[in-house]
Structure 1
Amino acid sequence: MSELTDWLLSEGFSEEQIDESFAPMLLPARRALGDDGTRLSARDIATQWDVDLERLQRILHAAGRPRSEDPDAALYLPVDSELIGYGQQCIRLGLPEEQVVAVVQVMAEGLSRIVEVMRVAALSAILRPGVSELDGAKASAALTSEVAPLLGPMIQDMLRTQLLHAMLEEEVSASERIAGRPLPGAGQVSVAFADLVGFTSLGEELPPEDLERLSQRLADLARDLAVPPVRFVKTIGDEVMLVSAEPVSLLEMLLKLVAAADADEALPRLKAGMATGVAVSRAGDWFGSPVNQASRVTGVARPGAVLLAESAREAVGDATSFDWSFAGARRLKGIRDEVKLFRARFAQGAVPRLHG
């Protein structure tokens, strides 16, 4: 510890900073992330950005920062002040305060999972057996100073990608709403999602790296089973998306995927939903009403079930390899009319046909 203390002092840290730190070894890494020891009060930040204290506290609270009863208590980091600046700019550009607060909260929740995964990865790279506190401190400072500048541009580009995806969805939805206007390149396809059951609650029990392994296991299993004409499109957190021009092949693949997950002790159970309609492919993804409908149907499916919207049930037709049961009619979010739902199973003795 004395070697670490001497090195930290030589790096410009004060004895007070070292004594007050619960983990002095991480002080250089914290400084590389912008924590130079400066602490600001809510009033300091409010004055800097000309924002009232109530709005400031709402934004900070949404970001997971403490709500202070004393506006002059020095609790906040300089990066907290920057967050308020961005939020204030968004509001001045015309975005409603409620929506800005909601965006901050959702971003904070999502980024917390990313940070936890990165924390585990960084510690495993630094805290190897036999590494001294001094060497660990130097390694963490070096790694953080190299990685930190990459994170902002990486997150910015990922956010831009998601915004473009959302705009493409809205473009397709707007085109569908205009009567008589066909979607360029659109065609009749069946779309399906398969979702790991209980994934959110597992997040409270398992470390992020184990959750990631479960998601990857599902993706690998889906890729292996998605032979033409079924196409694996993407993973979205704890679910996979698939499309096919042949609904029978897609349904057979879904049933086999759910059965394979049931037989895999390492995976939670799956539930799956399927819909058919006119959709269009853009930038490797699919957009249109059957995409939204298939996602909503998956959301109401029971564990171990493959549920079809009436559109997909009609597209599958009278194939003798399936048994059917009516699962009722439901109003699904974002869909105007009630959707009739049907549960599909392999008929007794039926052999899955996954190669068209």
Structure 2
Amino acid sequence: MAELIGGEPTLTMVQLAEHAGVDLTAARLFWRAMGFPNVPDDAVTFTPLDVEALRAIGGLVGGVHVDRTTAVSLLRAQSYLADRLVLWQIEALVEDASRRHKLDDTGARLVVLDRIAEIAGVLEGQLVYAWRRQLAALAERMDMEVSGRSVEESGSDSLPLPRALGFVDMVSFTSSSARLGSRELAALVQGFEFTVRDVITSHGARVVKTIGDAVMFIADDLPTAAHVAVDLVAAIKARPDLLPVRGSLVWGRVISRSGDVFGPVVNLASRLVDVAPPETVIMDPATSERLATSSAAGAFSFVQRPPADMPGIGQMAPVELRLASPEGTPATP
């Protein structure tokens, strides 16, 4: 594995700090922010690649581009996502080796360990490519949004981002997964995740996070999120190998931090999906009214549901969202 980290380790933490031109405290903070356990200051652990990375982040702070708190946040972000990414990639490669070579889990992992260095360059190149594309797309969306803000919005203390968001989760996942073997469970989870990601991104919405048997998505406008929600239910329903799902949809203001979004509407969406019947999408009354009075209202129909008690929110009469019939069902919340 030495070739993945720039050769055999030759430097201690003290030497890492000296070579990078930072103090020892900063070097220790860098390593912890990267998500790795503490190492003794005299343990030979580091390579010239570590020096290069620490020097670069030190220059970002020293050049007055960002403060140390922000630098640590950036390090933690990339480490967290890299950890998730390599786990996903390794498990996908293990599954591939097991399927193609008819190996058990141990044999498949040994094959991957033997070959990972050969494909590391391709994976690294694709990561940089995807990062640049995602950064460009986010910058474009942000430019469009801030250029359209009013003076009142810019100076407001309210949460800054108006968004449509929702949850979709699998029904009876816990009981069903208890009856499945490892391969069947992996196929179920992967089939669900691949399907929802494909539907969400094809509409121009974005996945915020997956939480086992659920996914949270977000969109810049309500009609887009509405199409995502109903199409997700339909796409999963068309897959007999997957469990039924239920969904929620809300509109409101959020704040984005650490790759996640926060705000009262996130809690509302989470509570709504818990009371949604299988293969339905439900909304709160305010979101329903907003969609029903929008230019996209004709694409949908709205069905009043019985009041439901939601912890931390109280009683609410949700509205079920459906696609309009081909004849054009009136949109009346």
TM range (shorter): 0.5 to 0.7
SS of residue matched to 1:67: coil
Report the counterpart of residue 86 of structure 1 in structure 2.
Answer: 56
Partners of 1:235 and 1:171 in 2: how far apart? 17
Q: Do the aligned partners of residues 216 and 178 (structure 1) sit closer, same or farther apart at CA in structure 2, a change above 3 Å counting?
A: same
Q: Equivalent pairs: percent with the same residue?
A: 11
Query: Is 1:108 paired with 2:45?
Result: no
How much has 1:75 moved relative to structure 2? 2.6
Contact conserved, 1:191 with 1:294, CA < 8 A, in 2? no
Report the counterpart of residue 122 of structure 2 in structure 1.
Answer: 150
Contact conserved, 1:62 with 1:101, CA < 8 A, in 2? yes
RMSD value, Cα: 5.0
Contact conserved, 1:307 with 1:342, CA < 8 A, in 2? no
> Where does structure 1 lack aligned partners over 5 or more consecutive residues?
1-29, 182-189, 224-230, 278-291, 332-340
Q: Given the two structures, how large is their TM-score scaled by the length of structure 1?
A: 0.57
Residue among 7, 22, 36 paired with 1:65: 36
Partners of 2:148 and 2:35 in 1: how far apart? 40
Report the counterpart of residue 178 of structure 1 in structure 2.
Answer: 150
1:124-143 paired onto structure 2 within 5 Å: 124=95, 128=101
How much has 1:315 moved relative to structure 2? 3.6
Query: Is 1:273 paired with 2:249?
Result: yes
Report the counterpart of residue 75 of structure 1 in structure 2.
Answer: 45
Query: Is 1:344 paired with 2:319?
Result: yes
Q: Do the aligned partners of residues 77 and 214 (structure 1) sit closer, same or farther apart at CA in structure 2, a change above 3 Å counting?
A: farther
Q: Do the aligned partners of residues 82 and 271 (structure 1) sit closer, same or farther apart at CA in structure 2, a change above 3 Å counting?
A: farther
Partners of 1:267 and 1:153 in 2: how far apart? 36
How much has 1:57 moved relative to structure 2? 1.0
Report the counterpart of residue 214 of structure 1 in structure 2.
Answer: 192
Q: Do the aligned partners of residues 326 and 32 (structure 1) sit closer, same or farther apart at CA in structure 2, a change above 3 Å counting?
A: same
How much has 1:56 moved relative to structure 2? 1.1
Question: What amino acid is the match of 1:149?
Answer: G
Contact conserved, 1:42 with 1:71, CA < 8 A, in 2? yes
For these two proteins, the number of residue pairs brought into alignment is 271
How much has 1:37 moved relative to structure 2? 2.3
Contact conserved, 1:193 with 1:274, CA < 8 A, in 2? yes
Partners of 1:137 and 1:160 in 2: how far apart? 33
Report the counterpart of residue 337 of structure 1 in structure 2.
Answer: none
Query: Is 1:96 paired with 2:67?
Result: yes
Query: Is 1:196 paired with 2:169?
Result: yes
Q: Do the aligned partners of residues 352 and 312 (structure 1) sit closer, same or farther apart at CA in structure 2, a change above 3 Å counting?
A: closer
Q: Do the aligned partners of residues 244 and 34 (structure 1) sit closer, same or farther apart at CA in structure 2, a change above 3 Å counting?
A: closer
Contact conserved, 1:235 with 1:241, CA < 8 A, in 2? yes
Contact conserved, 2:13 with 2:41, CA < 8 A, in 1? yes
Residue among 322, 347, 352 paired with 2:304: 322
Q: Do the aligned partners of residues 89 and 141 (structure 1) sit closer, same or farther apart at CA in structure 2, a change above 3 Å counting?
A: farther
Per-residue CA shift, 1:276-307, capped at 9, x if unaligned? 99xxxxxxxxxxxxxx9987753553424422
Per-residue CA shift, 1:72-118, capped at 9, x if unaligned? 22133444333312321221232111111112112212111221122
Contact conserved, 1:62 with 1:104, CA < 8 A, in 2? yes
Q: Do the aligned partners of residues 257 and 31 (structure 1) sit closer, same or farther apart at CA in structure 2, a change above 3 Å counting?
A: same
